Amino acid sequence: MVSKPQVRFTLGKQSSLAPDTVSCSDSDSDDGLEAIDPRVRLMFFSSEGDLEGIKKLLDSGTDVNFKDIDNRTALHVAACQGFTDVAELLLERGAEIDPQDKWGSTPLADAIHYKNHGVVKLLEKHGAKHLATPMHVNNAREIPEYEIDAKELDFTNSVDITKGTFAIASWRGTQVAVKKLGDELFTDEEKVRAFRDELDLFQKIRHPNVVQFLGAVTQSSPMMIVIEYLPKGDLRAFLKRKGALKTITALKYALDIARGMSYLHENKPEPIIHRDLEPSNILRDDSGHLKVADFGVSELLKGTHAAKHEKPMSHQDTTWRYVAPEVFRNEDYDTKVDVFSFALILQEMIEGCQPFVTMNERDVPKLYAAKERPPFKAPSKSYAHGLKELIEECWHENPERRPPFRQIIVRLESIYNSIDRKKHWKVQRFRCFRMMGMCKGEDSDTSTNNRSSWI
């Protein structure tokens, strides 16, 4: 029996991994064989979305898994063209879910490439596997140094942390925080770009007051970012339990935040704006110090002067209660947006409540834009000399009037040392009075004894 010769199906959109993926016309077909070969007619009908034609061919015994000379199947074709109903019919009739063409592309990879989201969801529902992530490399030498094998991450006892963004996992015997990127990342170029940006930022950061980046999973799905896990939780939860902090404690925490932010803002060659600085994104380590975390909406300021940026933020990106008015108004902004947020956090640590806590969060930015600021209600003694003035400068309406973190650190240290000296002086005075009291007591006892000896 003479077997039918292999043919190449050249109509419609081609494989996502082929050297040339442009659409072809009928004139590109090999020798007219497609017109009479039912197997190729199956692929043609799949490219045209002809359900009735496909059903007749399959009912007559045409192989649903026929592969042309490039190892492409009818399911490949339907995925490229975006015909969800055709793909569903082919799967119902026994089409293989993950066939690979000669370039290694699967129907799912083709559907993702051509942004055919309906087909993507259908294939995933039927168990199609993502063979490569958006950051997949073909040469093992190109795998990033920070790459972590996903099999090393154990999520057996995983729980969500940090607003649900991160989850706890075990990695090489150590608890870590892991941020997973969903499968929608494969079809959303903006999310891919944001993931790359976040990785770029993490690789640049090395500071004791900034959460430590440990590695990432980029060569398999789901992609993940792995950072150190700080079991004491975030500043938001701590303030909720403790309420208003002692001034000395608030200053210590403020210095931790300011040092971490100063490091980010003075990053070379481009400053890093956090853009979402608020208590939930500040974590506590075992030693009681704070670390700045969550750089999901952070960015580098581009350009030689790194002066302004125009990227708008949505309510989903951040907590509006801590956002500077220029961001709310979608105006140009720079690193000073973080200084504004810092002022609100510092005041919150002393007052013991969130900024404008009784108001709806969405309405708070309107108050900031109208030059309103949270009132100072704590006792005057809670605000050491110069502290209230510093807060007011940091949340100034004009960003240029807000001091940089390098200056904020100097002023905070001065206030902290002033309180510490007073505290030390009080302790020393107490000890002195105590010693004097003990001495007086001893003199009294001695006099009594001496008087007894005279009698």
Q: CATH number, domain at 109?
A: 1.25.40.20
With respect to residue 200, please indicate whether it lies within any of the assigned structural domains.
yes
**pLDDT grade, residue 306 (50/70/90)?**
very low
In this prediction the pTM is 0.66
With respect to residue 431, please indicate whether it lies within any of the assigned structural domains.
no
Q: State the Cα–Cα distance between residues 215 and 219, nearest whole angstrom.
A: 12
Q: Is the pLDDT of residue 83 over 50?
A: yes
Confidence (pLDDT) at 185: 59
Question: Are the C-beta atoms of residues 337 and 326 closer than 8 Å to each other?
Answer: yes
Question: Are the C-beta atoms of residues 147 and 218 closer than 8 Å to each other?
Answer: yes
Question: Are the C-beta atoms of residues 24 and 11 closer than 8 Å to each other?
Answer: yes
Q: Is the pLDDT of residue 313 over 70?
A: no
Element (H, E) at 413: helix 405-454
Q: State the Cα–Cα distance between residues 373 and 36, nearest whole angstrom.
A: 78
Q: State the Cα–Cα distance between residues 274 and 300, nearest whole angstrom.
A: 9
Q: What are phi and psi of 300, to 5 degrees?
A: -90, 140
- Write down which residue in 97, 125, 153 finishes a domain: 125
Question: Are the C-beta atoms of residues 176 and 228 closer than 8 Å to each other?
Answer: yes
- Write down which residue in 414, 431, 448 finishes a domain: 414
* Token output for 32: 């007219």
Residues with Cβ within 8 Å of 94's Cβ and at least 6 positions away in sequence, in order, are: 64, 65
With respect to residue 313, please indicate whether it lies within any of the assigned structural domains.
yes
Q: Is the pLDDT of residue 32 over 60?
A: no
Residue with the bigger pLDDT between 394 and 313: it is 394
Question: Are the C-beta atoms of residues 283 and 291 closer than 8 Å to each other?
Answer: yes
Residue % of the chain over a pLDDT of 70: 78
Q: Is the pLDDT of residue 442 over 70?
A: no
Residues with Cβ within 8 Å of 77's Cβ and at least 6 positions away in sequence, in order, are: 9, 12, 43, 46, 47
What letter would DSSP give residue 213? E
Question: Are the C-beta atoms of residues 261 and 278 closer than 8 Å to each other?
Answer: no
Q: Which residues are catalytic?
A: 276
Q: Are residues 339 and 396 in the same domain?
A: yes
Q: Are residues 318 and 219 in the same domain?
A: no
Q: Are residues 360 and 405 in the same domain?
A: yes
pLDDT tens digits, one per residue of 362-390: 899 999 999 999 999 999 999 999 999 99
Q: Are residues 266 and 373 in the same domain?
A: yes
Average pLDDT for residues 128-152, to the nearest whole number?
81
What letter would DSSP give residue 24? B
Confidence (pLDDT) at 383: 95
Q: Is the pLDDT of residue 287 over 80?
A: yes
Q: Is the pLDDT of residue 397 over 80?
A: yes
- According to DSSP, the residues that pair with 181 across neighbouring strands are 223
Q: Are residues 70 and 159 in the same domain?
A: no
SS3 of 275-316: the string is: CCCCHHHEEECCCCCEEECCCCCCEECCCCCCCCECCCCCCC
**pLDDT grade, residue 6 (50/70/90)?**
low
Question: Are the C-beta atoms of residues 245 and 349 closer than 8 Å to each other?
Answer: yes
With respect to residue 105, please indicate whether it lies within any of the assigned structural domains.
yes
Residue with the bigger pLDDT between 447 and 184: it is 184
With respect to residue 120, please indicate whether it lies within any of the assigned structural domains.
yes
Q: Is the pLDDT of residue 396 over 80?
A: yes
Average pLDDT for residues 133-151, to the nearest whole number?
83
pLDDT tens digits, one per residue of 405-433: 999 999 999 999 988 777 666 666 666 66
Point out the least confidently predicted range of 73-87, 199-213, 295-309, 400-414: 295-309
Q: State the Cα–Cα distance between residues 399 and 265, nearest whole angstrom.
A: 15
Q: Is the pLDDT of residue 184 over 80?
A: no
Q: Are residues 109 and 38 in the same domain?
A: yes
pLDDT tens digits, one per residue of 189-239: 777 777 888 888 888 889 999 999 999 998 877 788 999 999 899 999 999
Q: Are residues 188 and 39 in the same domain?
A: no
CATH value at residue 214: 3.30.200.20
With respect to residue 103, please indicate whether it lies within any of the assigned structural domains.
yes
Angle between helix 38-48 and 51-59 (nearest 10): 160
- According to DSSP, the residues that pair with 154 across neighbouring strands are 170
Q: Are residues 290 and 393 in the same domain?
A: yes
CATH value at residue 286: 1.10.510.10
Q: State the Cα–Cα distance between residues 323 and 364, nearest whole angstrom.
A: 9
Could you tell me where the beta strands, DSSP code E, fall in 78-201? 153-154, 160-161, 166-171, 174-181
How does the average pLDDT of the chain come out, rounded? 83
Average pLDDT for residues 295-315, to the nearest whole number?
51
With respect to residue 133, please indicate whether it lies within any of the assigned structural domains.
no
With respect to residue 12, please indicate whether it lies within any of the assigned structural domains.
no
* Token output for 418: 């002033």
Q: What are phi and psi of 177, to 5 degrees?
A: -100, 130
Q: Are residues 58 and 101 in the same domain?
A: yes
Sign of the dihedral through C-alpha 252, 255, 261, 263: negative
Residue spans of alpha helices (H) in 2-94: 38-48, 51-59, 74-81, 84-92
Q: Are residues 308 and 409 in the same domain?
A: yes
Q: Are residues 266 and 353 in the same domain?
A: yes
Residue whose token pair is 């500077």: 324
Q: Are residues 287 and 151 in the same domain?
A: no
Q: Is the pLDDT of residue 454 over 50?
A: no
Q: State the Cα–Cα distance between residues 179 and 127, nearest whole angstrom.
A: 23
Point out the least confidently predicted range of 95-104, 191-200, 252-261: 191-200
Confidence (pLDDT) at 280: 92
Point out the least confidently predicted range of 9-13, 67-71, 153-157, 285-289: 9-13
Residue % of the chain over a pLDDT of 90: 53
Instruction: Identify the top-confidence range among 249-253, 418-422, 442-446.
Output: 249-253
Residues with Cβ within 8 Å of 354's Cβ and at least 6 positions away in sequence, in order, are: 321, 348
What letter would DSSP give residue 131? -
Confidence (pLDDT) at 450: 46
* Token output for 353: 């409540």
- Write down which residue in 197, 228, 259 finishes a domain: 228
Point out the least confidently predicted range of 30-39, 292-301, 354-363, 400-409: 30-39
- According to DSSP, the residues that pair with 216 across neighbouring strands are 147, 225
Q: Which domain holds residue 406?
A: 235-414
Contacts by 329-333 with C-beta closer than 8 Å and gap 24+?
329/369, 332/308, 333/273, 333/308, 333/309, 333/399
Overall domain count for the chain: 3
* Token output for 135: 């950051």
Q: Is the pLDDT of residue 297 over 70?
A: no
Confidence (pLDDT) at 341: 97
